[in-house]
Amino acid sequence: MYRRKSMPAAVAAKITPLQTHLLSLLKGCRTIDHLKQIHSLLVTSGLPGEAFPTAKILHLASLSLPADISYASLIFHQTYRPHASLYNAILRGYSLRSHHDKAVTLYSQMLRDGVIPNEHTYPLVLKSLSRSQNRSPNQIHAQISKLGFDNNSFVQNSLVAVYAKAGDLGSARELFDGIRTRDFISWTAMVHGYVDNDRAVEGLALFAKMRTAGVEIDEVTVVSVLKGAAMVGDVWLGKCIHGFYVECGRAKRDAHVGSALVDMYAKCGYCDDARSLFEEMPCRNVVSWSALIAGCVRCNGFADALSFFQDMLVEGVKPNQATLATVLTACAQLGALEQGRWIHGYVERNKLELNSILGTALIDMYAKCGHIDDAFTIFHAIPEKDVYSWSALIGGMAVHGRASECLNLFSEMVKERVQPNEVTFIGVLSACSHGGLVGQGQSYFNCMMDYGIRPKLEHYGCMVDLLGRAGRLDEALRLIESMTMEPSAGIWGALLNACMIHKDFDLGERIGKHLVRMEPHHSGRYVLLANIYSLSHKWDEAASLRMTMKGRRVEKTRGCSWIEVTGAMHEFVAFDESHSESNNMYETLDGLTKLIKLDEA
């Protein structure tokens, strides 16, 4: 804390021509260095304390110029008896530069110094409070009421926003309903609060009331509504908002709205619309590129996601941590290790913080690409490990069949007092399944409720797979029949695979017929049942099944695979000759086939 200057001694009130000239220079000041020069000359010229333009200098240092907030803070703390306007200038400077904890601390100092805040103070303090570590607005709300500012519209809107940001939607709605004259800021704060707290249905319902009341909407409102529409999959509402903005001629100009539209279309499964809209945007920033790449990943267009990421870099748009995490997800799904390593190097070269999201994506990528030791290295490098980081490594260990290490990692996670989630238990149960640890798997499955986690289809699937691999088919069937929800085709499929492994063709036939009834247009179900018939020598049934498949016009899904060569992904589909090197590849394959036959002979 800086020590404030004592009250300056009485001096002549007359201002010299030099000082008048220096004061006039403040009006045209454009750089922080220039401001410091003028400030130092004013001080050394002996300008009387009462006339000293502290407010002007503080405003320039903290707000107007490419500012030096530490310099502004130094001036402020050496000012004798600063009034509320000076506090507000520093509060605004802290807020603009995201020094929110400092702003809240300064407000506390303001009260200790006996300076009474005004109506401009509280919107600034509440904005910083909503973004600081201490988000509880109750105490400041009481001070606002005590000073009589609780009827000020700016303060009311700020209170609604801060309560909503803190997740206290009940208090936010009570305040919102108590506002006599609600403007679009009040409505938007409440709509955004609902959407941001995963209550999109209520947020969209409030937006409908907002439109009925004839309240004008702005870009912030539209972005919140589009986010809500994406969360509930309401593409019709999203298209209505899109149409409204096209009519206004603003849809292509506003990058934030454009990015929200791209995200909405992609999350609703309309990836082609998302891509078309993106290509029409004249101004594309990192948010819009990230929305498109995330949309491709969501629609399983992993190769497209990597292609767009390359285009993004070519256009000179710098990716952020969220963008890189999404691209790493695409790399993990494709097994594109080289590109994943390049992104890891990019993170290190640009000294990006290895936060939980980015670190988890790297762990997942390395694990799925077969480099579990690199995943371990990343895990230990993450400064603050959350449940997602732990779960990614546990899942990676399970996939690699390292069951005992996986379970030890889970025990270590519990000792660190990190609460496991649904994904964590999927990894643990998978590890038990791959390791043949039936007893331990059942124990973990039974203790899920101790952590407040109700088993879902994925957990039942893991248990059916665990029991099926161990040959305990009857237990697996009883578990399926005891489920409180409808078993999925995947769960029945896991039991069918176990029947084939352990040659229980009677049970396998029953399950196979059930799967065909469940998914009559899924070619894989017919193939598995046909294999059961063939293995049990029921040739007539196998032939009849193929006729049924033909009559329903069910075609086998062609096999597809990717391979990474010198950082580029190549896709191959069975019997496809579209690849530029297909002729050479088939010749090589024919040559390998001949060599294999010669060895067998």
Q: Note the pLDDT tens digit of each residue in 262-289.
A: 999 988 989 899 999 898 888 888 999 9
- 10 pLDDT above the threshold of 50: no
CA 305, 308, 309: angle at the middle one, nearest 5? 85
Lowest mean pLDDT across 7-11, 49-53, 291-295 = 7-11
pTM for this prediction: 0.73
Work out the burial of residue 283: count CB atoms within 10 Å of its CB; fewer than 13 is exposed, 13-18 middle, 19 or more buried: exposed
Is 312 a residue whose pLDDT tops 50? yes
Taking the CA atoms of 269, 273, 276 and 282 in sequence, report the sign of the dihedral they define: negative
Query: What integer pLDDT is reported at residue 76 of this predicted model?
Result: 77
CA distance 225 to 184: 13
Mean pLDDT value across residues 233-252: 76
- Say how far apart CA 131 and CA 539 lie, in whole Å: 69
Q: Where are the beta strands (DSSP E) in 131-237?
A: none
Q: What is the pLDDT of residue 8?
A: 45
pLDDT tens-digit map of 347-365: 999 988 888 899 999 999 9
Q: How far apart are CA 586 and CA 584, in angstroms?
A: 6
151, 153, 154, 157 alpha-carbon torsion, rounded to 10°: 100
Q: Which residues are CB-contacts of 60 (< 8 A; sequence separation ≥ 6)?
A: 26, 29, 35
Rounded mean pLDDT, 73-101: 80
Residue 92 scores a pLDDT above 70:
yes
Residue 136 has a pLDDT of 72
Neighbours of 538 (CB within 10 A): 16
Q: What is the pLDDT of residues 150-198, one digit of tens each?
A: 888 889 999 999 999 888 999 999 999 999 888 889 999 999 999 999 9
Crossing angle for the helix pair 69-77 and 32-44, to the nearest 10 degrees: 20
For the domain spanning 182-318, the CATH number is 1.25.40.10
**Domains in the chain: boundaries:** 182-318, 560-600
Burial bucket for residue 207 (CB in 10 Å: 0-12, 13-18, 19+): buried
Q: Where are any strands of DSSP class E within 84-213? A: none
Highest averaged pLDDT of the listed ranges 18-27, 131-140, 432-441, 543-552: 432-441
The residue ranking higher by pLDDT, 333 or 567, is: 333
Structure confidence at residue 5 (pLDDT): 45
Instruction: Please give the C-alpha separations between residue 486 and each of 336, 430, 489, 490, in angstroms, as whole numbers.
Output: 36, 21, 10, 11
For the chain, percent of residues with pLDDT exceeding 90: 41
The answer on pLDDT for 80 being more than 80 is no
Signed CA dihedral, 74, 77, 78, 82: sign only: positive
- Residue 215, strand partner residues: none
Q: How far apart are CA 175 and CA 151, in angstroms?
A: 11
Query: What's residue 85's pLDDT?
Result: 83
Secondary structure class of 58 (helix, strand, coil): helix
CA distance readout (Å), 534 to 83, 313, 538, 543, 546: 90, 53, 6, 10, 12
The pLDDT value given to residue 556: 64
Task: Confirm if 370 and 333 have CB atoms less than 8 A apart.
Answer: no
Q: What is the mean pLDDT of residues 343-350?
A: 93
Instruction: Fill in the amino acid letter for 516.
Output: V
Q: Which helix (H) or strand (E) holds 562?
A: strand 560-565
Q: What is the pLDDT of residue 38?
A: 73
- Kindly give, in sequence order, each residue whose CB lies less than 8 Å from that of residue 457, ignoring residues fewer than 6 positions away: 485, 487, 488, 490, 491
Residue 60 has pLDDT above 80, yes or no: no
pLDDT band at 229 (very low <50, low <70, confident <90, very high): very high
581, amino acid identity: E
**Rounded mean pLDDT of the chain?**
84
The yes-or-no verdict on residue 3 having pLDDT over 60 is no
